[in-house]
Structure 1
Amino acid sequence: MTEANLTYVNGEPTLRFERRLRHPPAKVWRAVTDPAELKHWFPAAVETELRPGAPMRFVFPEEAVVDGAWDGEVLEVDEPKVFMFRWHQDVLRIEVIPDGDGCTLVFSQTIGGGRAGFLAAGRTAAGWDSCLDQLAARLDGTTVPARTDWVTPMAHYIEKFGLGDGTVTATTDGYELRFARDLVWRKPADTWPVLTRSLETGHVTKEEPPRVLEYEWSQGGTVRWEFVSDPKLGERVELTHTLPATLAELRPLALATWHHRLELFFAAATGGVDESWSEDRVAELVKHYA
């Protein structure tokens, strides 16, 4: 198995996977285009016709928040080589390349939705890894065990793609440090208790459960956590630290602190994994931001 790589196509972030399959192109083509076969590995049930311009409908068994609408379109059909379609704001392209007695499958997803959509690339890459494993098993006539640990692969891709990094913007009074993390459809009502039970805060200046928490950081400045919901892209948490200009030297430490705090919060909120605070990790991140 080869893992996902992040590239850019016409300036748009694109996940790319490549799998060598020991099956003829015609067999693989059917597995990636026939709705009856797609249901064995694709994350949603697909309704469509195999012709350019045909509308597509994607239905999830549990995530009704994003299903039910004909919000897709077949863009290209070049049997048995290329199948490309739009799914909501993303474009998926599946290419089957003959290779000896088998073929190579190149699967890519161009991610729409701007910065908010890109934040989900970690969970998306982990999800497609699992789906493509199921596709290969279906073709081989075997099965793969259901994945139980999603935090580890998502955290890996978040790190690989730099999705956990914070940014610094100079302001008239100092600096604004910003982070944002995808929360994989976890609702604020569920993630708020995870945040408040583990967070050590200074003087609270604003509290609006389960959306906003703002307080003074012990070493200076104001920290704001905000949970944001998007009906198409899911849930995310945004953290903003307003740091006075007189504390400019604390920028690497502050960035490292919030980066690690968000790593731990993400693990606890998405997988119920309460990991311990690591000073070694903070020191590593201080070097990264310095």
Structure 2
Amino acid sequence: MTGEAPETPETLTTAADGRTALRMVRRLAHPPEKVWRALTEPGHLAHWFPSDVEMELRPGGKVRFAFRHGEMPDLDGEVTEVDPPRVLAYTWGGDLLRWEVEPAASGSVLTLTHTFADRPGAASFASGWDTCIAGIDPALDGRPTPPPGDINAKHERFVAVFGLDQGTVEALEAGVPAADGEEGWRVRFERQLTQPAATVWRTLLGKVVAPEVGGTVPSGFATGEFGHGPVSEVRAPVLLAYAWDQDGRYGGTVRWELTEGTGHGARLILTHTGSAEFAGRRSAALDAWHDHVEDLARRLAEMPR
């Protein structure tokens, strides 16, 4: 069968095991036999894959991934499927990478399906694989690997394509009070950013040097849609929390957390809780924080990585 690249070259779905499946399809200028060499031979992999690879090319064979510059700890894997020159699959730590190669009129169509647990990290994975796969044709031609371009802009494009900028509204578990002992609701955003936590923190602080418990909340951590009291908790550069109010009445809490993320950036987890009394404010909180977080992400993406 002759493979044709679909109109949507990247998709994000839920796999059968409940994890996330990133599917990327790219047209290459070389026939499947040559692409297979790029996928399996260490000398070719070294030109485009993000690590050095040692692979026993058989089902159950061991795979070893060694990162050249210490970007992350070395990983082990296992080959799960081999069908030269059509299919190669192996584990990548806890993830699964499955490569499919189909002949096309002027070369091949390469499909990567990357299955993983960390859905908010999908844009980092997609921007990384997009950059890596772009090096396969030049490597097979004996040409230099092309520069990655604006990797931050690429990351943000994938965030939008996959809808990873959207927050959620959740009911708090029974017995978890939001305000005044009532059970309530929570707006939550988990957003991968393109800069490390220290840079994100400085950007949010603005002209404030060091926020303190009992002090004023820096404007970068607040939205004009909701009044707020003083800082209730702070641990630079990873945590800041405070209470919000409605007409002088306690409404709930806002909590900013910066945790370890994928790629080179921090993972933002922003939660805004409210009591049942203020259930009508859920949509306003969702919209206000979406715009606030996206403005932050845009400013960070404009900074060099």
* Number of residues of Structure 1 aligned to a counterpart in Structure 2: 266
Is the aligned partner of 1:174 residue 2:205? Answer: no
TM superposition shift of 1:199:
0.8
In 1, the alpha carbon distance for the partners of 2:9 and 2:301 equals 22
TM-score, length of structure 1 as denominator length: 0.81
Q: Deviations over 1:72-114 (max 9, x none)?
A: 1111221111111100111011111123452221211112x3x
In 1, the alpha carbon distance for the partners of 2:15 and 2:168 equals 24
TM superposition shift of 1:216:
3.0
What does 1:240-255 align with in structure 2 at a 5 Å threshold? 240-255=271-286
Secondary structure of the residue aligned to 1:154 is: helix
1:16/1:142 CA distance change after superposition, 3 Å: same
Aligned mate of 1:84, from 68, 85, 89 = 89
Q: Which shifted more, 138-147 or 75-84?
A: 138-147
Contact 2:196 2:264 in 1 (8 A): no
Q: Deviations over 1:220-277 (max 9, x none)?
A: 532100122379998422111012333322222211121122223234445527xxxx
Secondary structure of the residue aligned to 2:64 is: strand
In 2, the alpha carbon distance for the partners of 1:150 and 1:234 equals 12
Gaps of 5+ in 2: 173-181, 207-218, 223-227
1:218/1:267 CA distance change after superposition, 3 Å: farther
1:139/1:231 CA distance change after superposition, 3 Å: closer
Structure of higher CA gyration radius: 2
Contact 1:3 1:129 in 2 (8 A): no
1:29 equivalent in structure 2? 36
TM-score, length of structure 2 as denominator length: 0.77
Q: Partner letter of residue 213 of structure 1?
A: L
2:101 equivalent in structure 1? 96
Aligned mate of 2:11, from 5, 9, 15 = 5
Secondary structure of the residue aligned to 1:246 is: helix
What does 1:164-203 align with in structure 2 at a 5 Å threshold? 164-171=165-172, 172-183=182-193, 187-197=196-206, 199-201=220-222, 202=228, 203=230
Q: Partner letter of residue 191 of structure 1?
A: V
In 2, the alpha carbon distance for the partners of 1:22 and 1:145 equals 15
Normalized per residue, which structure has more helix?
Answer: 1
Secondary structure of the residue aligned to 1:138 is: helix
Identical counterparts, % of pairs: 40
